[in-house]
Amino acid sequence: MAAPGGFFGRPEWSRAMTIVIPEELVPLLRDGLYFDLHGQLEEASGLIEPRNRADISAGVAGCLARAEGARALLDVLGWIEPIETPTAVEVDVRRHRDALLRALLTRIASEHGVEEDPEVSDEDRATAKARISQLADLIAQTEGSSV
pLDDT (tens digit per residue) in 21-69: 999 999 999 999 999 999 999 999 988 876 667 788 899 999 999 999 9
Closest CA to 93 of 133, 135, 27, 141: 141
| Domain region containing 83 | 20-145
Which residues are paired to 90 by β-bridges? 20
Does 134 map to a domain?
yes
Does 64 map to a domain?
yes
Does 131 map to a domain?
yes
Number of domains the chain is built from: 1
- Separation CA 70–CA 92 (nearest Å): 13
Question: pLDDT tens across 83-142, in order?
Answer: 677 789 999 999 999 999 999 999 999 999 999 999 999 999 999 999 999 999 999 999
Does 14 map to a domain?
no
Does 60 map to a domain?
yes
Task: Identify the H or E element spanning 129.
Answer: helix 122-145
